[in-house]
A and B are shown apart, each in its own frame.
Chain A
Amino acid sequence: MKSIKTSILLVLTVLLLTPAILFAGGKKEEVKNELEIFSWWTAGGEAEGLEAMREIFEAKYPDVEFINATVAGGAGVNAKAVLKTRMQGGDPPDSFQVHAGHELIDTWVVAGKMEPITFIFKENNFLNAYPKDVIDIISYKGEIYSVPVNIHRSNVLWYNKQIFADAGITPPDSLESFFAAAEKLSGKGIIPLALAEAWTNSHLFESVLLGALGPGKYKGLWNGGTAWDDPGVIAAVEAFINILDYVNSDFSALAWEAAAQYVIDGKAAMYIMGDWAEGYFKSKGLTPGKEFGWAPSPGTAGSFLMLSDSFGLPRGAPNRENAIKWLTVCGSKEGQDAFNPKKGSIPSRTDGNKSLYDAYLKSAMDDWTSNTIVPSVMHGAAASEGWMEDYNNIITILIVEKNVDQAVKAFLKAAAKNLK
C-alpha cells in the first residue's frame, strides 16, 4: 500500500514539474547591457568588415557586450528563415541585416515590425550624406526604416583582359556588340559568357532587362508604370534566350565562384555578376585592371543597378538604446569606411574616403554619384519577396523551355498578383 502511495506521489510530482520543464529556458533573465546583431556575414571579407565595424562600436561603447548572431548560407536564405521564426515568436534581435528596398519594406515595415528611424538620420545629419534615390528606397510613407551600410552594383560585366586583347575586342556596350563579340569568341573555342546556378540566371536577366528597357522603364516594371508585355521586355527575353547559346553547358551545377574561376582560368571570357565577384578575383591574387577588366553590362552604361545591405530597428528590440548607437555607427562615415574596403563594396554615403578603396571601387564610387540609380530585383531592392520568388520561378522555366510567349504571360500574371 505504501509503495503505491509513493508511486502516485512520484507521478504527481512529475506531472507538476512537466510544464515547468517544457517552458523553461524561454524566459529572459534581468536586462543586460547587450547588443545582438543578426546577419548572414559568416565568412571572408564580409565577416572581417562586420568585425571592423564592431571594433569601432566597442571603442565608443566599451561597456556594451556585442553579440554577433550569424547564420551561414548564400544570400541569407537560411538566415532569413531563422529571422522570420524569431520575429514571429516575439524574440527579435536588436538589429538585423536586411536588403534595403522592398525586402525591408514589404516584409517587415508594412507588417508593422519595424520602428521608423528618421530621427537617427536627422540627429546625425545623414540626410545630406545619402543620395536621394537611396533615401526613397528605404522609406515608406515619409519615414526612413533602415541604415544602408554598403552598396553593391549588380550590372557589371567582368572580362578576362588577355582573351579580349588576343581576340581584338573591346568590352561590348550594347547587346548587338555583345553578340558580335560572343560570336567571335566562340569561333575561337572560348566560352563567351560564364554562368552558374539558378540565382545567377535571374541575376543575369535583370541586367538584360535594364539594358533593353533603360532605367526609367525598368523602374516602371516594379510599380506598374511599365507593362510586362512592353516590346522592351519581349526584346529582353529574346536576347536572354540568345545569350544562353553562348554560356557554359554545365552552368546549373556551378556555384557563382566556380563560374568566376572560368574567367580566371581563361575558359570563359566574360561574366555578368555583382561586384562581389571582384573580391573573389582579388582573393585569387588578381589585380583589378591588370588581369581582369570591368564595364557596365551591355546597354546599361549610365545606370547603377544597386543592392544594399542595411540594418533596421525592430519593434520590441530588447536593447533599443544600444541598437540606436549601433545604427549611428552603421551610418557614419567612419563606420562605412571601415566596413566597405574589407567587404569589397562602396559606402552608401557619397562622401567616402576614396583613398581607402581599390581601382574598381573608386570607379564604382564615381558612378554611384553620377549615374541613375535603379533597384535590383534579384537582391531584394525592387520587389517583394513573393514577387522575387515568382520572378525566379519564371526564369527557371525560361532557361529550359525558351518560350517567349509563355514567359511574358507568366511575368504579366506575377505582376498582377503582386501589384495589388
Chain B
Amino acid sequence: MSATITRPAPDRTLRLGISRAGYEIRSYFRQGDTVFFTFLFPLLMLTIFSVAFSDSDFGQTPDGDPVTAAQYYLPAMLAAGVLLSGLQNMAIDIAVEKGDGTLKRLAGSPLSPVSYFIGKIGQVLVTAVLQAALLITVALVVFGVPLPTEPERWLTFAWVFLLGVTTCSILGIGLSGVPRSGKSASAVIIPIVLVLQFISGVYIQFSALPEWLQNVANLFPLAWLAHGMRAVFLPESYSALEQGGEWNLAGIAIACGIWLVVGLIATRATFRWIRKDG
C-alpha cells in the first residue's frame, strides 16, 4: 500500500518528537495556571524572600561583603525551578493527559511513545532554561546579586542543571502513574513536591535542619540539586556549613545518576499509552 511509512524510523521518531516539543511548549504557555505555579513561582518566592529578609544576616564573603537574602536564596530557587519544571510539571501534565483521553488518542495514532517523551522533555528543557535565565537575570538586575565569574562554576551549573532537569523529568513520568485521575493530579503531586522543598533546603536553610532530616532529604535528588546550586552561587567559604564541610559534587552526580537510572527503568517497564484492562 502507498500508506506504509517509508522514512527510516529513528529519523521520523526524532522529527515528530521535535514537532511535539514545539506543540507542547505552545500549550504550556497558554495555560495560565502552569505558567504561574510552575514557571513564575520560584521567581515570586525569590522576590518575597529577598524583600522579607532584606535585613537578616546571611553571613559574608571572605572580602567582608554581606551576602544578601537574594544571593542566599537564588540557588535554592534555581533548584526548586528544576524540580517544578521537571517533576511537578511532567507528573501533573501526563496524569491529566491520561485522564482526559489525550493519551488514548495518541495511542491510536502512528506517534511513537519515544516521540511523545522527546516532546515532553523538550518542553521541560526549554521552559526550565527560560525559567533559570529569568531567575538569574532578575537576581542580577533587580537585587544586584553578584554572579560567579569562574568558568568552572558555570560548567558545574550547566551539568547540575541538565542532570537535574533530566532526572526530575523522568521521575515525573514515573510519578504521573500515582494519581488515580487527572482531576486529582495536582492534589497528589503538589504536596509531595512541597514537602521535598521544605526538607531539602529550598525554603529553610539546610544547615538549620536536624542531621537526621538532612540525611532523609539526601535520599532524594532535590537536596543534592540545591547543594550543587549553592556550590555555584555562594562563596567558597560557605562550604563549611554543608554536611562534611565541603562541596560534594561527586555526591550530586551519584545521587541524581541513581535516580535517573531507576526512573528510566521504571518508566520503560511501566509506561503504557493506556491501561489495558484485565
> Do the two chains bind?
no
